[in-house]
Amino acid sequence: MFLPRVLRWVVVVPVGLALTACEGATPGPTSAAAKGQPSEPPPVTTAPVDSSTPVKSENLPSATTPEPTIASGELSADVRNANAFALKVLARAKKPSENAMVSGTSLRHALGTTYFGARGPTAREMAIALDLDNDPKIAARLARAELDAWQDTKGSAELNIATRLWVDNDFSIQPDFVKTAESAFGAAPQAVDYAKPDDARKTINTWVAEKTKDKITDLLPQGSLDSQTRLVVTNAIWFKGRWEFPFPKSATKDEPFKTDGKKSVTVPLMHLTDSLRVATEPGLKVLELRYAESQLSMLVILPDDPQPSALAKLEANLTPEKLDKWTGALSTARVNVTLPRFGFRSGGVMNTTLQDLGMKSAFTEKADFSGIADPLPSARLYVNQVFHQTWIAVDELGTEAAAATGATMRTTSMITGPVVEFRADHPFIFLIHDAKHGRILFAGRVTNPKS
């Protein structure tokens, strides 16, 4: 029985995806470079479009296809869809009692790149699972608009998003796929030699480490690539921002943090009293902590009930509509903030999560990625594994703040009314998002700052 082999996907806040052809795959028509030459990366081979072998690329943008116009309503809908995906992934991340963080943006960029090469039921399922537009031309334009929006809103915060296609020397990919990947995500192709899988793995991991400032150094584990690998897609996101209103370090104290309503751990709790935007809703509070000179901010969603079941229920029922309602209710008040200093790594295999969301055939021999590679049976591809890894550190200065910063002085307006107490000394949800458009960059939960 013929069995196409694998499309490996490694997703992190750097995200990676690897595609492998079936056993005994026929190499592409032209070798991009001789095997075993570690010097300059060879050019990537793209297959000519043969009229006798249709590739069904009519839905992909090309040099002769006019780009569709995107209405503002479509952009707003894409933000809601992206947020829905991020929240659904967070709700399925690890055990509800464990710290976790995901980047729906990173997952969508890596998986979305491959969506442009999917066809038939595979494409339809991916569009549903990733909450992407089912018209690939619109999806590609929305992806480009999203990248531009991140650059417009980051301000002085550091935000770098990069995508790369790592193509085997002897494998040919469809030119329309390359065009779309480059136009939508800036995903430039680079040739590597998967006949030496460990060397290829190290090359890709080095790129990811560079893009994430050495916070993710082993994205692709040993054994994740082999001589049948044909394509790896990596996405890396790096963010660093300092608070608009830093927490004074002198106010940080070791205090109890309730982990399950009864048990507690002693951790550094930061304290700040300032004029901040906050909302009080039934059963919870929402606090916005803005990053300096940027339209990015962190939302902290704190249930009133410290029991883990309360956080799990909140997370399971969190939707973009509720989030819009809560952010719309934010107003400036005098707030006493207590927030733990925290940092952790999070990650795991995402196959089950994506299958639960409807992306099923992509993981089977029925997958159709003929828009990426020659649709002959010998070159069929499917998804093997999707990995996702993240890293975060939050302290008095910000999120992954620099150790040395200049002190600033400012004036504050007098806010009348009662002081709002926002004491996050028990599990909470945090979202790093674009406050202008509402798009979520990272979504996470903190259940034990000491873990």
Mean pLDDT confidence for 161-184: 90
Q: What is the pLDDT of residues 214-261, one digit of tens each?
A: 888 888 888 888 887 888 888 888 888 999 999 999 999 999 999 987
Pairing of strands 342-349, 188-192: unpaired
What is the rounded CA–CA span in Å between residue 125 and residue 431? 27
The per-residue pLDDT of the chain, averaged, comes to 80
Query: What is the Cα gyration radius of the chain?
Result: 23
Mean pLDDT confidence for 83-103: 91
The residue count for the chain: 451
What is the rounded CA–CA span in Å between residue 436 and residue 152? 10
Could you tell me where the beta strands, DSSP code E, fall in 243-366?
253-258, 264-281, 284-290, 296-303, 331-340, 342-349
Alpha helices in 329-385 (DSSP H): 351-356
Pairing of strands 100-102, 440-446: antiparallel
What is the rounded CA–CA span in Å between residue 85 and residue 77? 12
What is the rounded CA–CA span in Å between residue 20 and residue 369? 11
Classify the C-alpha dihedral 88-89-93-97 as positive or negative.
negative
Could you tell me where the beta strands, DSSP code E, fall in 93-216?
100-102, 158-168, 188-192
206 by Cβ neighbours in 10 Å (0-12 / 13-18 / 19+) ranks as exposed
Contact 10, 387 (CB under 8 A): yes
For residue 78, CA distances in Å to 116, 119, 164, 436, 437 come to 16, 21, 23, 14, 11
For residue 338, list its beta bridge partners: 271, 423
What is the rounded CA–CA span in Å between residue 113 and residue 98? 30
Pairing of strands 188-192, 158-168: parallel
Q: Which helix H or strand E contains 200, and what residues bound it?
A: helix 197-211
Alpha helices in 278-374 (DSSP H): 308-316, 320-328, 351-356
User: How many whole angstroms from its chain centre is CA 411?
Assistant: 37
Whether the pLDDT of residue 58 is over 70: the answer is no
Whether the pLDDT of residue 32 is over 50: the answer is no
Q: What is the pLDDT of residues 430-442, one digit of tens each?
A: 999 999 889 999 9
Whether the pLDDT of residue 347 is over 70: the answer is yes
Contact 4, 21 (CB under 8 A): yes
Q: Which helix H or strand E contains 57, and what residues bound it?
A: none
Lowest-pLDDT range of 76-90, 246-260, 385-399: 385-399
Question: Mean pLDDT highest for which of 190-194, 345-349, 411-415?
Answer: 190-194
Mean pLDDT confidence for 96-109: 91
pLDDT score, position 416 = 52
Q: Report the 10 Å Cβ neighbour count for 74.
A: 17
Q: Which two tokens stand for residue 14?
A: 């750097």
What is the rounded CA–CA span in Å between residue 166 and residue 202? 12
What is the rounded CA–CA span in Å between residue 3 and residue 365? 6
pTM of the model as a whole:
0.83
For residue 343, CA distances in Å to 88, 99, 288 come to 22, 10, 19
The model's confidence at residue 51, banded by pLDDT at 50, 70 and 90, is very low
Residue 9 — φ and ψ, nearest 5°?
Answer: -125, 125
Q: Which helix H or strand E contains 207, and what residues bound it?
A: helix 197-211
Whether the pLDDT of residue 427 is over 90: the answer is yes
pLDDT score, position 349 = 79
Q: Which two tokens stand for residue 352?
A: 């089950």
What is the rounded CA–CA span in Å between residue 108 and residue 317? 21
Structural domains of the chain sorted by starting position, each given as residue range(s) with its CATH number in brackets: 6-241+345-391 (3.30.497.10), 244-340+411-446 (2.30.39.10)
Contact 44, 420 (CB under 8 A): no
Lowest-pLDDT range of 8-12, 210-214, 307-311: 8-12
Q: Which amino acid is at 97?
A: S
Residue 98 — φ and ψ, nearest 5°?
Answer: -110, 150
For residue 138, list its beta bridge partners: none
What is the rounded CA–CA span in Å between residue 78 and residue 119? 21
Counts for the chain of helices (H) and strands (E), in that order: 9, 17
Q: Which two tokens stand for residue 334?
A: 């005098």
The model's confidence at residue 52, banded by pLDDT at 50, 70 and 90, is very low
